[in-house]
C-alpha cells in the first residue's frame, strides 16, 4: 500500500480514537456540569453567586479547560462525518475548515473559562 | 386473494398491482414466482435455493429488507392491506426486483475478504480451539449468506456509497479471527481507511434485519477496537 493510503488509515483510526476518548471525558464533564447547575440554582441563580464559586478557583478553571478541550476535539470530528454524509464534502478543504472551527472553539471556550476565573 | 403491489422498472418505475391466490405456508418468494409464472412472465427477480442458503432472493417487503424465501406471507400480511414488494435499497436496480450486486461484492474484495494462508497440503492440520475467544468471534459471524439485507438496511451506505458496508466488514472480522489466516495486518489496513469501519455509526439496522441473526454491528465494533489497538502499538 502507498504512503497516502497509510496516512489515511492512520488518520481515520486516530480520529476515531480521539472521538472516543473525548466522548468519555465529555460524559464525565457533562455529569459534573449538570450536577453543579442543579445544586447551584437551588437558591435562585445569580451572576454574583456563580462568580463567587469560580473566581480564583483553579480547580474549576482546570475543569473547564479540560471540558473545552474535549469539546474542541469531539465536535469537529462529528461535524466531519456530517459534512461527508449529508453535504458530500470531503478532502482537505473540509478538514482545514473543521480544524479552524476546533481552534475557534478552544479560543471561545478558554475566553469564557478565564472570564469567570479572573 | 392477496393484493400485491410490485415494483416494475429500473430506478425509474412504478408499482403494479396483482392479485395472487392466498395459500397456506406461502412465502413472499412463492407470491413473486406465481406472478412471474401465471400473471406476467416479464417480471424479473432472482432466486436459487429457496431454503435460505444462497442469499439470492432478498427484496424490500413492506419497506423492510427481507429474505423472501423464508418470509411467510402470514408473518407480514398484518402490516398493510396490500403486500408491497420492491428491490433492495442502496443497490442499482437491473430491472423490477433484481438488483446489481457487483458493488456489494466488490466491497468484500476491497475489505480483503479472501482467506489468505501460506499453509500447504503438506502442513499439519491447524489447531483451532473451539473455546478460544477468536473462534467464538469468528463463529458468530461466519454464517453470512451474502444476501445484501444488511447493506440495504444500512443508513451509512445510503449516505456515502463508498462505505464498505456491514457484510464486507463482518467478513473481514471473521478472517481476522481465523487463526489460520496470514493477512491480518493487510486486512486491518483495508478496513481502517476513509469509508471503512470507523464510518459506522452503530445504528444497528444491519443487526436488526439480518435474517441469519448475525450482528455485523458487533463485528464492526471489533474491527474498530482492533484497528485502534494496532495504531496505538504501531502495527497498522
Residue A48 has a pLDDT of 86
Flag whether residue B221 sits within 8 Å of chain A, measured between CB atoms: no
Residue A1 has a pLDDT of 52
Which residues of chain A have a pLDDT value below 50? none
Residue A8 has a pLDDT of 87
Q: Where are the domains of chain B?
A: 2-99, 102-232
Residue A27 has a pLDDT of 98
CA distance A70 to chain B (A): 19
Between helices B102-110 and B166-176, what is the axis angle to 10°?
A: 30
Residue B173 has a pLDDT of 98
DSSP string, A47-106: HHHHHHHHTT-HHHHHHHHHHHHHHHHHHHHHHHHHHHHHS---SHHHHHHHHHHHHHHH
Residue A72 has a pLDDT of 98
Best residue of B189, B220, B222 to probe chain A, by most A CBs closer than 10 Å: B189
CA distance A90 to chain B (A): 10
φ and ψ at residue B18, rounded to 5 degrees: -135, 155
Paired sense of beta strands B13-20 and B93-95, if any: unpaired
φ and ψ at residue B80, rounded to 5 degrees: 180, 170
CA distance B141 to chain A (A): 23
> In whole angstroms, what is the distance from residue B77 CA to residue B6 CA?
15
CB contact under 8 A, A85 and B196: no
Residue B137 has a pLDDT of 97
Residue A77 has a pLDDT of 97
CB contact under 8 A, B193 and A12: yes
Best residue of A7, A9, A86 to probe chain B, by most B CBs closer than 10 Å: A9
Q: Where are the domains of chain A?
A: 3-117
Q: Which three cell numbers stand for residue A111?
A: 475566553
What CATH code would you report for B2-99?
3.10.20.30
pLDDT digits (tens, 9 = 90+) for B51-79: 999 999 999 999 999 999 999 999 998 88
Q: What CATH architecture applies to the domain A3-117?
A: Up-down Bundle (1.20)
CB contact under 8 A, A13 and B230: yes
> In whole angstroms, what is the distance from residue B121 CA to residue B154 CA?
40
Flag whether residue B50 sits within 8 Å of chain A, measured between CB atoms: no
CB A113 within 8 Å of CB A65: yes
Residue B139 has a pLDDT of 97
Q: What CATH architecture applies to the domain B102-232?
A: Orthogonal Bundle (1.10)
Which residues of chain B have a pLDDT value below 70? none
Amino acid at each position: 500500500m502507498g504512503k497516502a493510503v497509510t496516512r489515511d488509515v492512520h488518520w481515520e483510526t486516530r480520529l476515531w480514537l480521539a472521538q472516543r476518548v473525548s466522548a468519555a471525558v465529555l460524559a464525565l464533564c457533562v455529569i459534573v456540569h449538570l450536577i453543579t447547575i442543579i445544586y447551584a440554582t437551588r437558591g435562585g441563580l445569580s451572576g454574583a453567586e456563580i462568580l463567587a464559586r469560580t473566581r480564583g478557583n483553579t480547580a474549576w478553571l482546570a475543569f473547564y479547560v479540560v471540558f473545552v478541550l474535549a469539546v474542541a476535539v469531539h465536535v469537529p470530528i462529528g461535524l466531519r462525518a456530517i459534512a461527508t454524509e449529508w453535504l458530500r464534502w470531503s478532502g482537505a478543504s473540509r478538514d482545514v475548515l473543521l480544524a479552524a472551527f476546533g481552534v475557534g472553539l478552544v479560543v471561545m471556550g478558554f475566553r469564557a473559562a478565564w472570564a469567570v476565573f479572573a | 386473494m392477496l393484493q400485491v403491489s410490485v415494483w416494475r422498472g429500473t430506478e425509474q418505475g412504478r408499482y403494479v398491482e396483482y392479485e395472487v391466490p392466498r395459500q397456506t405456508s406461502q412465502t413472499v418468494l412463492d407470491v413473486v414466482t406465481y406472478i412471474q409464472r401465471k400473471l406476467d412472465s416479464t417480471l424479473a427477480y432472482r432466486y436459487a435455493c429457496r431454503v435460505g442458503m444462497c442469499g439470492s432472493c432478498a427484496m424490500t417487503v413492506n419497506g423492510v429488507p427481507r429474505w423472501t424465501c423464508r418470509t411467510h406471507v402470514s408473518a407480514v400480511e398484518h402490516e398493510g392491506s396490500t403486500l408491497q414488494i420492491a428491490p433492495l435499497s442502496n443497490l442499482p436496480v437491473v430491472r423490477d426486483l433484481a438488483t446489481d450486486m457487483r458493488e456489494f461484492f466488490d466491497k468484500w474484495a476491497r475489505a480483503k475478504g479472501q482467506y489468505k494462508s501460506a499453509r500447504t497440503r503438506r502442513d499439519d492440520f491447524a489447531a483451532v480451539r473451539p473455546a478460544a475467544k477468536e473462534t467464538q468471534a469468528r463463529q458468530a459471524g461466519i454464517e453470512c449468506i451474502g444476501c445484501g439485507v444488511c447493506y440495504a438496511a444500512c443508513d451509512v451506505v445510503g449516505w456515502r456509497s463508498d462505505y464498505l458496508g456491514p457484510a464486507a466488514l463482518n467478513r473481514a472480522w471473521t478472517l481476522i479471527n481465523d487463526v489460520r489466516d496470514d493477512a491480518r495486518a493487510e486486512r486491518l489496513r483495508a478496513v481502517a481507511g476513509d469509508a471503512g469501519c470507523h464510518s459506522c455509526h452503530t445504528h444497528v439496522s444491519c443487526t436488526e434485519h439480518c435474517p441469519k441473526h448475525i450482528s455485523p454491528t458487533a463485528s464492526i465494533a471489533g474491527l474498530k477496537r482492533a484497528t485502534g489497538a494496532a495504531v496505538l502499538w504501531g502495527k497498522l
